[in-house]
Amino acid sequence: MNKVLVEIFLPAANESFDVYIPVESRLSEVLQLVSSLLSDLSAGKYKATQDAVLCDAKTGMIFNINMAVSELGIQNGSRLMLI
C-alpha cells in the first residue's frame, strides 16, 4: 500500500506530528485512524470525536471525507490540521 508522509498540526495540543497515511484510502477512514493515534500521542490533550475534521493547514480548507487521499492532492510534505 502506498503511503505519504504528512505533518498534522493539532491545535488542542499545540503540537505537530509526522504521520504516514495511505493514499488510496478514503479520508473518512484516515480521519478515524489519525484521530485515535493523535489522541494517544498527545497524552490526552486531544480527545478523538466523530466531529473531527482534517483541513489544509495553510488555507484552512476542509477536505471532503468521501474522497480518497490521492484525489485531494495530499502528498508527501503536505501540512494538515486536525480540529
Per-residue pLDDT, 43: 87
3-82: CATH number: 3.10.20.90
- pLDDT at position 1 is 62
Rounded to whole angstroms, the Cα distance separating 83 from 71 reads 21
Predicted model pTM: 0.91
All three cell numbers of 72, joined, read 485531494
Q: So where are the chain's domains?
A: 3-82
Statement: residue 30 has pLDDT above 90:
yes
Average pLDDT, the chain: 94
Residues 6+ apart with CB under 8 A from 44: none
Is residue 78 scored above 70 in pLDDT?
Answer: yes
